[in-house]
Amino acid sequence: MSIRSIVIPTLVLGTAAALLVTIQGNWTAWGSSSVEQRTDDAYVRADMTPMSTRISGTVTKVDVQDYETVTPGKTLVELDDADYQAILAQSEAAVAGSEASLANNQAVKRIEDAKVQNAENMIQQAEAAITAARAGIASIEPDVTRSDLERKRQQALLAVKATTNQQNEVAEADATRFSGMLAGRQADLQRAEASLASSRILLEAERRQRAALDTQDALYRADIQAKRAGIIVAKVNLGYTKIVAPVGGTVGERHIQAGQLVAPGMQVIDLVQGGAWVQANFKETQLTRMRKGDRADIKVDTYPGVVLHGKVEEIAPASGSQFALLPPDNATGNFTKVVQRIPVKITLDPDASWEGKLRPGFSAVVTVHTSDGSAQSREQKP
């Protein structure tokens, strides 16, 4: 065997090994440092609104067809509203009844106010009677004193035969008459004082009754507010019998038909909104130089040869695996390193000619023209 037959294969194998080591050690760096990052793991997306029911009821009409374009406010589904109309009428009747009770309470309050006023007038009359009785007593007391003294003087004179029986009898009659008048005035005073006490008790009772009516008034007003809130709830539920499009877009597949009974939360129609965008799932090693605002070229498989333009709107805060229902746990011991994918949102430049032509789910190829910058400014810190 010649030396040449040994040296040449050895050199070839060494060179291949060196190339393999070099490529393996620098492949990620070469890919990350590329100005253009490309991926075919990209799809057209759009905001989709699953229209659901808020109440239970029977579907009376479906106002749209599958894949129909609708405008904001367009009625999509109608439910039977007979029960909710009845509930609204019942709530309105309840409010009317409470308002009538409040009005009746107002009338009772006016009557009670009149009673309070009457009791106050009775107190004033009793106080006036007391004043009059006291004045009468004060006016009769001098006559009582004078007539009593005259009676005693006539009795003394009669004892010594210095006066006549007639004069003595007149003095006795005057004293008796004035004493009776004084007793009558004192009785009037007692009756007036009793009437005053009774009127004061009556006034206190009427005032308490009036205060109770004020409390009842507050209860009626609170009841009216509660029942008016019930009307609002009834109107809201009545409005839920019509499911309308909150925004413009395209109807997806209908999940219900007329005559079907639906329950709250049941999905009835999917509404695909306008304004399509592209979700590109780049490898984590492709994001080294990618930034928000970087320009992007998009090729949609449905339209070969057409290049759309856009920009990087957002870069997801985590890889797609982290948002999965069961995220992978690499701490179990069964670890295999796999390059992760990071969703990147690409918004398209406004172009009226493409309005409505892109459908969510279309496959695409995205090339992002990353921003140039100093490598040192992008070094990852440990």
**210-261 pLDDT per residue, tens:** 888 888 888 999 999 999 999 999 999 999 999 999 988 889 888 889 999 9
**Would you kindly state where each structural domain of the chain is located, as residue ranges?**
33-80+251-378, 83-239
**Span of 128-132, 153-157, 239-243 with lowest mean pLDDT:** 153-157
The pLDDT value given to residue 374: 39
DSSP state of 352: G
Query: How many other CB atoms sit within 10 Å of the CB of residue 222?
Result: 11
Quickly tell me which residue has 């997806």 as its tokens.
Answer: 252
Which tokens hold the place of 141? 């007391």
Mean pLDDT across 268-288? 89
Q: What is the mean pLDDT of the chain?
A: 83
* Cα 54 to chain centroid, rounded: 16
DSSP labels, 224-287 = HHHHHHHHHHHHHHHHTTEEE-SS-EEEEEE---TT-EE-TT-EEEEEEES--EEEEEEEGGG-
Degrees to nearest 5, angle at CA 188 with 186 and 192: 120
Whether residue 94 contacts residue 230, with contact meaning beta carbons closer than 8 Å, is answered with yes
Whether residue 260 contacts residue 78, with contact meaning beta carbons closer than 8 Å, is answered with no
333 backbone φψ class: left, alpha, beta (φ>0; ψ -120 to 50): left
Give 127's contacts (C-beta < 8 A, 6+ positions apart): 192, 196
How far apart, in Å, are the Cα atoms of 65 and each of 73, 162, 188, 332, 359? 16, 136, 97, 50, 18
DSSP state of 376: G
**334-352 pLDDT per residue, tens:** 667 778 889 999 999 988 7
Task: Give the confidence band of 382 by pLDDT, cuts at 50, 70, 90.
Answer: very low
The pLDDT value given to residue 169: 77
| Whether the predicted pLDDT of 1 surpasses 60 | no
Sequence-separated contacts (24+) of 188-192 with Cβ below 8 Å: 188/129, 188/132, 188/133, 188/136, 189/130, 189/133, 189/134, 189/137, 191/129, 192/126, 192/127, 192/129, 192/130, 192/132, 192/133
If one looks up domain 83-239 in CATH, what number appears? 1.10.287.620
| Whether the predicted pLDDT of 93 surpasses 90 | yes
What phi, psi does 265 have (nearest 5°)? 90, -5
| Whether the predicted pLDDT of 102 surpasses 80 | yes
Task: Give the confidence band of 355 by pLDDT, cuts at 50, 70, 90.
Answer: confident
Q: Give 26's Cβ-side CA count (13 Å radius).
A: 9
| Whether the predicted pLDDT of 368 surpasses 60 | yes
The pLDDT value given to residue 21: 62
Give 281's contacts (C-beta < 8 A, 6+ positions apart): 39, 41, 42, 320, 341, 342, 343, 344
The pLDDT value given to residue 380: 36
% of the chain with per-residue pLDDT over 90: 34
What's the CA gap between 34 and 368, in Å, rounded? 10
Coil vs helix vs strand at 129 = helix
- Residue that wins the pLDDT comparison between 158 and 261: 261
| Whether the predicted pLDDT of 377 surpasses 60 | no
% of the chain with per-residue pLDDT over 70: 87
Quickly tell me which residue has 């597949």 as its tokens.
Answer: 253
Q: Which CATH architecture has domain 33-80+251-378?
A: Beta Barrel (2.40)
pTM for the structure as a whole: 0.63
Whether residue 80 contacts residue 241, with contact meaning beta carbons closer than 8 Å, is answered with yes
| Whether the predicted pLDDT of 331 surpasses 90 | no
Mean pLDDT across 98-122? 89
Give 368's contacts (C-beta < 8 A, 6+ positions apart): 36, 37, 38, 280, 282, 290, 294, 295, 296, 312, 344, 346
| Whether the predicted pLDDT of 127 surpasses 70 | yes
**Span of 121-130, 164-173, 219-228, 240-249 with lowest mean pLDDT:** 164-173
